[in-house]
A and B are shown apart, each in its own frame.
Chain A
Amino acid sequence: MSSKPSAEIQLTIDGTNISVPAGTTIFDAARLNGIAIPTLCHQQNENPVGVCRVCVVDVGQRVYAASCIRQAEPGMNVKTCSEPVQAARHTLIELLMSDHPSPCARQQHSGDCELERLAAAAGVREARFPKRSTRRGKDDSSAVIAVDHESCILCDRCIRGCDDIRHNWVLARRGKGYQAGIAFDTNLPMAESSCVSCGECMVSCPTGALTNKRVVGTELGQGDVLDPTELLHLPIFQNVSGTFLELNQKAVVKRHYRAGEIICREGEFGSTAFYILEGKAEVFLASPMAHVETAGTSQGFFRKLKSMLSPREQHRRSEESDRPFIPIDASVDLPYDRPIAELNPGDLFGEMTCMSYYPRSATVRAKTDCVMLEMLRNVLDILQRNKTFRAQLERNYRARALDSHLRGVPIFSSLTKDFIDHLRDRVELVRFSPGQVICRQGDVADSFYLVRIGFVKVSEERPGGELILAYLARGGYFGEIALLSGSPRTATCTALDHVEVVRIARTDFELMLERFPDVRGKLESIAHERVAENRRRTTQLQTLPVDQFLANGLMEAQSLLVLDLERCTRCDQCVHACADAHDGVSRLVREGLRFDKYLVATSCRQCRDPLCMVGCPVGSIRRRNSLEVIIEDWCIGCGLCANNCPYGNINLHPFPVELDDPAHPGRKIASTRVKATSCDLCHDHAEPSCVYACPHDAAHRVNPPEFFAGLLKQSSVAKG
């Protein structure tokens, strides 16, 4: 590495005289002259460090020299494969193999673990030395690279690759003695670190310590597989490791779509994201904007019990939605009144589907002939960490979606355009991995957050445990309470999956409040509401022996449908009534677990922390201003909420609908759409229909703490 003037040096290696320029290492000198010295930690493109000592040679001195780092000196007599040297090498390899989990992952996958190859070549079969007892573990967090610290031989190649070659400065060493190992940032799991998954370390690693993870379904069936060089020409793939692309060649493909072709349908499950290279596409909701009607009117004596969809034009709900936009998994949001938007080249859609395997949130159809890149998660992950790509994404977001997001928050609806322009470049887009804490309770408040993508859990630490206050989806916001009141953070916000938030710094926030006092007023009232709600919850919990309540989630519920089994004659009138009130679709099932003499029927419990809401790709299952969980008209029937509900209270139902036939414009074809249904407490009647229709006064909709208070008190007294 030195840049001395190249004077020639003469030395002898294995009896051969060679002359090399000054500053050449013995290893290079040997290599130049056709003599191969086995190495492990030395990689040609990296600066040698000489930690493994496999390349030791006898230079005629007291100790053997590591040939990879020792510079050739004039008149050296180097012996590379004498018996003592070989014996030393043998022992070294044995020592290394003694801690090596043979066969390691690399050896298993591709048979090219360098250490094991060395061992085989050196005739090392069994190590005489015992394995070390401390375990350094594995790190499975990255989507792309598997880290097995057991196989790591501390050769330093990955560190040099990450720092010197890639300049990412993520990897470093940690620990001492047997605990020594490599670490990402401050010994964070790889996925949480600033690692950009370029793959250089993996490529550098000689053993199975850093291997390429096999993503399920790595190969995309359709589409043209691209040459890595082609991909690298695309601006978004700049600075992506070519090796990585090579290894994951089939994980990204080029797709061509004709105008009018459907690229993806809402509600389908998928695992890929799309990036538009050329052409325009339309994104819209194909499900009818309708809800399963909750009407109490009669429709004639002989009507059949059939489910019906009631579109918005025919029947508006009494409470209109307060959201002007429907949040979807693309770079724009769909306006509520006319849910259709356009995607341009450079737009990415399907992010949430790809990263977190949520169902597709909308239908995308090519407006013109399109060329797209379809990619799997590993590729998207790399892209997301790629600086160029991120820059473009953020540009897009700021230009198109930030506006609607900000305005989508009702309290910000009065912001002027110039202020948004001012904010545009000052906001920061920050990514969080699943489980990562965005802000912690008690921290100093310095920013206001807007959720761009993913789900955020807002919770509070209490003496009894964690109390979940809310789930926020795309378009949600948090962090304003502490900013307004100047107090520390009142709650902890954690990312549930791959979350990206828009962070607005304190100064900008305060500027906004200054310039738009009505925004401040609205924010303050909402903050007050939230504080009051929290306080109410706290006091409620304090008056109950919470620890003695049943563990099957009854405490989570805010409204239970209980059937008094000592009065119920199992006549099914409640089910009939529910079905009648909801056009043939019953929202309750008379089956479930019992509590005392009550059967807790399977019907929405209006949980305090509604797990059903997590993951709704279009945010249609939510609460408005009252207790009941509503499924909005734009539900796309993906079924995630039904899966998430731990009690099975949500069911999916197919409805026959007539849609415009894309093949024959002007005509309609019959199709099936699935919608999710759940108990809505019959909110447009005075009393829930099931309770109303029970002839034996056995059905009750109750608030569990109040209803069971007597029982709980008894049991608490009994337990002392």
Chain B
Amino acid sequence: MLRRIRTTKKLAKRIDLQYFKRAHPLRRWRFWLSLAVPVVALGWLVAQRTQGGQKAYSSGPLSASHAVFTQQCSLCHVTRAAAFFEEVSDAACLACHDAPVHHVNQVFTPPCSSCHLEHKGSIHLSDTSTASCTQCHESLRVRDGKPHFAESIASFDREHPDFSPAAKKLTDPGQLRLNHYLHLQSNLMGPNGKRVQMNCEDCHQLTGEPEQFAYAGDLVTTGSLDQATSLHTRPRPSPMVSVKFAADCAGCHTLQFDTRFGPEQVPHDKPEVVHAFLVKRFQEYIVRNPAAVHEPEPPARQVPTRIRPVRMAGNASEWVQFRVDDAEWLLWSKTCKQCHALRSTGGSLPEIVSSGIRTRWLEHATFDHRAHRMMACTACHAQALDSHDTADVLLPGIQTCRECHQDVARSREVAEGRCFECHEYHDWSKARPSKHRFSIPELRGTAKLQMP
């Protein structure tokens, strides 16, 4: 039986009326912590300032190429006198870099920083996003008149028009006849009388490949170096090595001119040179074999479809002339004509139409064959297997590219599909020479930076 009775009055009288005004551990702690923690934060800010300058305010690590300047915020964030904002203006970038304008007709020039995002970590600054390009190219407008290019390109795998050869149904203007289909048959007569099956790479090589050409003769050297070292890492224009006769054709297409000389070939050169060569050779021959003046011409040398009257020469010079004519007749009508187009100029010697092999089909983009070297040539150039005409343009359409190259934003399991992979914004043909102005102490921060 409890005798303690709780009444409101007794309970209330226990309490000191001023209790809520007095400090209590919880309240005290809260108060002091509320003072201490911001002070600590402030202290941290101050410490950051004294230690690392303004590094704490960086919104992310710098790209690989600028990382060395991490402490030098003012290299890019230029302080202007009497201004609060230390923004990154184009002038800051241009202090080191050159950035030729893209096109003289463009409606506006985006600032450097709108495409080249720094503080995103160790990326390539030049790998700009698709949006950098589509900000204009999605609805293209030019200052005067209509644009020459597609008006709306938003991404590679959707709106990008097909490559111009396919789109415009161009034909190869080359005057050198070639039938790819034939060359890829399996029973071709190769050098030294053997039968060969040719592959694409027997004629077409990548730049800088070290291997010797299997069917080349001693005269053959592998391809030249690519173009002069580019200042830019990407895109690297890397066309295929131009197909040269000496390297790629001479092994099978021999230029023999006369059985008397056996396998000797005329030089693969202009008709004048060939003529001079022939004259020289025949002259040497007749000097060595004066009796040959009177030898009849064997009939086997006749081209079956073209029967020429055989002329007997009277004397050596005549014989030379006749033989040269014969050889030239062979050459001009058969051998050379097999590939080249000849044009009569009204003189004695024809003119070989310039072969006009177009090595660069994509004018506004570059394609790097080296990056695709793991692929079989026919994976993209499948038309080559079926190409009978010289006029065939064997470039793949954009669909082929899109098999692998798609918008990176949609899936990570694609090849790079952003614009910079093939296209270049800055018109480097108009690049100006660099201004070499900074000293090492300036760049490393031990000396004051003199910005132009």
Q: Using a CB–CB distance below 8 Å, which chain A residues touch chain B?
A: 305, 552-553, 572, 575-576, 579, 584-586, 589, 591-593, 600, 602, 645-649, 651, 653
**Least distance between B15 CB and chain A CB atoms (Å):** 5
| Interface segment, one of B2-10, B65-73, B146-154, B178-186 | B2-10
Q: Who on chain A is nearest to B13 by CB?
A: A648
B32 in the interface (beta carbon within 8 A): no
Q: Mark B32-45, 1 if CB is under 8 A from A, else 0.
A: 00000000000000
Q: Who on chain A is nearest to B21 by CB?
A: A305
**Complex contact B9–A575 (CB within 8 A):** no
**Complex contact B9–A646 (CB within 8 A):** yes
Give the docked Cα–Cα distance between A576 and B13 (Å).
Answer: 19
Q: Who on chain B is nearest to A575 by CB?
A: B20
Which residues does chain A contribute within 8 Å of B12, judged by CB atoms? 589, 591-592, 602, 647-649
Give the docked Cα–Cα distance between A164 and B184 (Å).
Answer: 166
**Complex contact B17–A589 (CB within 8 A):** yes
Give the docked Cα–Cα distance between A653 and B8 (Å).
Answer: 20
Give the docked Cα–Cα distance between A552 and B7 (Å).
Answer: 8
**Complex contact A592–B11 (CB within 8 A):** yes
**Complex contact B17–A586 (CB within 8 A):** yes
Counting chain B CB atoms within 10 Å of each CB, which of A552, A553, A576, A589 scores highest? A589
The 7 A-B pairs at the shortest CB distance, nearest first, are namely: A648-B9, A602-B12, A648-B12, A647-B8, A592-B8, A575-B20, A589-B12
**Complex contact B11–A593 (CB within 8 A):** yes
Give the docked Cα–Cα distance between A533 and B354 (Å).
Answer: 124
- 28 residue pairs A–B, Cβ–Cβ below 8 Å: A552-B7, A552-B8, A553-B8, A572-B20, A579-B21, A584-B21, A586-B17, A586-B20, A589-B15, A589-B17, A591-B15, A592-B11, A593-B6, A593-B8, A593-B11, A602-B8, A602-B9, A602-B12, A645-B9, A646-B7, A646-B8, A647-B7, A647-B9, A647-B12, A648-B8, A648-B9, A648-B12, A649-B12
Q: How large is the interface on B (under 10, 10 to 19, 20 to 34, 35 or more residues)?
A: 10 to 19
Q: Who on chain A is nearest to B6 by CB?
A: A593
Q: Who on chain B is nearest to A578 by CB?
A: B20
**Least distance between B55 CB and chain A CB atoms (Å):** 39
**Least distance between B22 CB and chain A CB atoms (Å):** 11
Which residues does chain B contribute within 8 Å of A584, judged by CB atoms? 21
**Complex contact A576–B20 (CB within 8 A):** yes
Counting chain A CB atoms within 10 Å of each CB, which of B6, B8, B15, B21 scores highest? B8
Since A591-B12, A646-B9, A648-B10 are in contact, a sample of 4 more A-B pairs with Cβ atoms closer than 8 Å, ordered by chain A residue number, is A586-B17, A589-B12, A647-B9, A648-B13
Give the docked Cα–Cα distance between A591 and B13 (Å).
Answer: 9
B14 in the interface (beta carbon within 8 A): yes
Within 8 A of A (CB), among B313-363: none
Give the docked Cα–Cα distance between A552 and B20 (Å).
Answer: 27
**Complex contact B20–A591 (CB within 8 A):** no
Which residues does chain A contribute within 8 Å of B14, judged by CB atoms? 591
Give the docked Cα–Cα distance between A648 and B14 (Å).
Answer: 10
Q: Who on chain B is nearest to A600 by CB?
A: B8
Q: Who on chain A is nearest to B9 by CB?
A: A648
| B20 in complex: contacting residue of A579, A592, A600, A649, CB < 8 Å | A579
Give the docked Cα–Cα distance between A584 and B17 (Å).
Answer: 10
**Least distance between A600 CB and chain B CB atoms (Å):** 7
**Least distance between A577 CB and chain B CB atoms (Å):** 11
Q: Who on chain A is nearest to B16 by CB?
A: A589
Give the docked Cα–Cα distance between A503 and B202 (Å).
Answer: 141
**Least distance between B18 CB and chain A CB atoms (Å):** 8
**Least distance between B2 CB and chain A CB atoms (Å):** 15
Give the docked Cα–Cα distance between A648 and B13 (Å).
Answer: 7
**Complex contact B8–A651 (CB within 8 A):** no
**Least distance between A23 CB and chain B CB atoms (Å):** 71
**Complex contact A651–B11 (CB within 8 A):** no
Which residues does chain A contribute within 8 Å of B20, judged by CB atoms? 572, 575-576, 579, 586
**Least distance between B376 CB and chain A CB atoms (Å):** 74
Q: Who on chain B is nearest to A579 by CB?
A: B20
Given A591-B12, A592-B12, decide whether A651 and B7 contact each other with a Cβ distance below 8 A.
no
Q: Who on chain B is nearest to A590 by CB?
A: B15
**Least distance between B25 CB and chain A CB atoms (Å):** 14
**Least distance between B20 CB and chain A CB atoms (Å):** 5
**Least distance between B13 CB and chain A CB atoms (Å):** 5
**Least distance between B5 CB and chain A CB atoms (Å):** 11
**Least distance between B12 CB and chain A CB atoms (Å):** 4
Q: Mark B273-301, 1 if CB is under 8 A from A, else 0.
A: 00000000000000000000000000000
Give the docked Cα–Cα distance between A647 and B6 (Å).
Answer: 11
Counting chain B CB atoms within 10 Å of each CB, which of A585, A602, A649 scores highest? A602
Which residues does chain B contribute within 8 Å of A589, judged by CB atoms? 12, 15, 17
Give the docked Cα–Cα distance between A593 and B21 (Å).
Answer: 24
